[in-house]
Amino acid sequence: MQIIIRADGAGANMLSHLLAKNPNNLYEREEKGAKVRLVYTVCDEQRTEAVLHVSPDPIELVKGSPDSYDITQYINDREFVTSSLFCTYIRPSLGTALNGKPKETFAEWVSHKFALTLSFGPVASNLPEPVVEQLFASLGYEVEQERGEADYPFALKHRSSVRYITLRGRQTLQTALRQLFILMPVLDDYKHYFIGEAEVEKLERYGEGWLEAHPQRELIVKRTLRFADVIERYEANREPAREEQNGAAEPAAEAASLADGAEPAPKVRLNEQRYQAICETVQGLEHKRTVVDFGSGEGKLSARLAELAGVQEVMAVEPSAIARKRAADRFAKLAERGQGVVPKTVTGSLFYYDESLRGKDVIVLCEVIEHIEAHRVERAIATILNEYAPHALIVTTPNREYNQVYEMGEAMRHADHRFEWTRGEFRQACERWRTDGYELELQGVGERHEAYGHPTQMAIFRRREEKKEA
The domains found in the chain, sorted by start residue, are 2-193 (3.30.1610.20), 271-463 (3.40.50.150)
Query: Which pairing describes strands 313-318 and 142-146: parallel, antiparallel, or unpaired?
Result: unpaired
Highest mean pLDDT, choosing among 17-31, 79-93, 419-433: 419-433
Residue 298 in 3-state DSSP?
coil
pLDDT confidence of residue 375 = 87
Comparing CA positions, the residue from 40, 36, 54, 38 lying closest to residue 6 is 40
pLDDT 10s digits, 414-447: 877 889 999 999 999 999 999 999 999 999 999 9
pLDDT 10s digits, 103-120: 999 999 999 999 999 999
Highest mean pLDDT, choosing among 54-63, 127-136, 321-330, 387-396: 387-396
> Binning pLDDT at 50, 70 and 90, where does residue 470 land?
very low
Q: How far is CA 265 from CA 12, 245, 250, in A?
A: 44, 16, 10
CA dist., res. 449 & res. 454, Å (int): 6
> Binning pLDDT at 50, 70 and 90, where does residue 259 land?
very low
State yes or no: pLDDT of 129 exceeds 70. Answer: yes
Strand partners, 399: 421
Q: What is the DSSP-derived secondary structure letter of residue 335?
A: H
**Neighbouring C-beta atoms of residue 194, cutoff 10 Å:** 8
Do 453 and 402 touch, CB atoms closer than 8 A? yes
pLDDT confidence of residue 468 = 38
> Binning pLDDT at 50, 70 and 90, where does residue 244 land?
very low
Q: What are phi and psi of 264, to 5 degrees?
A: -65, 140
pLDDT confidence of residue 251 = 45
pLDDT confidence of residue 161 = 63
Average pLDDT, the chain: 84
Query: Which pairing describes strands 34-43 and 47-56: parallel, antiparallel, or unpaired?
Result: antiparallel
CA dist., res. 131 & res. 383, Å (int): 35
Q: Is 403 exposed, middle or buried (0-12, 13-18, 19+ CB in 10 A)?
A: buried
> Binning pLDDT at 50, 70 and 90, where does residue 283 land?
very high
Helix, strand, coil proportions of the chain in percent (round to 5)?
A: 40, 25, 35
CA dist., res. 101 & res. 19, Å (int): 10
Average pLDDT over residues 157-172: 80
**303 or 73, which is more confident?**
303
Strand partners, 445: 456
**195 or 161, which is more confident?**
195
> Binning pLDDT at 50, 70 and 90, where does residue 90 land?
confident
- Element of type H or E holding 234: helix 228-259
> Binning pLDDT at 50, 70 and 90, where does residue 148 land?
low
pLDDT confidence of residue 266 = 52
- Amino acid occupying residue 32: K
Do 150 and 160 touch, CB atoms closer than 8 A? yes
| Percent of the chain clearing pLDDT 70 (strictly above) | 83
Q: Which of 92-101, 205-214, 266-275 has the lowest mean pLDDT?
A: 266-275
Average pLDDT over residues 315-334: 92
CA dist., res. 306 & res. 289, Å (int): 10
Average pLDDT over residues 312-330: 92
State yes or no: pLDDT of 197 exceeds 70. Answer: yes
Q: How far is CA 230 from CA 189, 200, 202, 233, in A?
A: 16, 7, 12, 5
Q: Which of 13-17, 27-31, 75-79 has the lowest mean pLDDT?
A: 75-79
**395 or 213, which is more confident?**
395
State yes or no: pLDDT of 288 exceeds 50. Answer: yes
State yes or no: pLDDT of 238 exceeds 50. Answer: yes
> Binning pLDDT at 50, 70 and 90, where does residue 152 land?
low
> Binning pLDDT at 50, 70 and 90, where does residue 413 land?
confident
pLDDT confidence of residue 82 = 72
State yes or no: pLDDT of 341 exceeds 70. Answer: yes
pLDDT confidence of residue 229 = 77
pLDDT 10s digits, 342-401: 999 999 989 889 999 999 999 999 999 999 888 889 999 999 999 999 999 999 999 999
Q: Which of 6-20, 84-98, 171-185 has the lowest mean pLDDT?
A: 84-98
Which residues touch 419 (CB under 8 Å, ≥6 apart)?
Answer: 370, 373, 374, 412
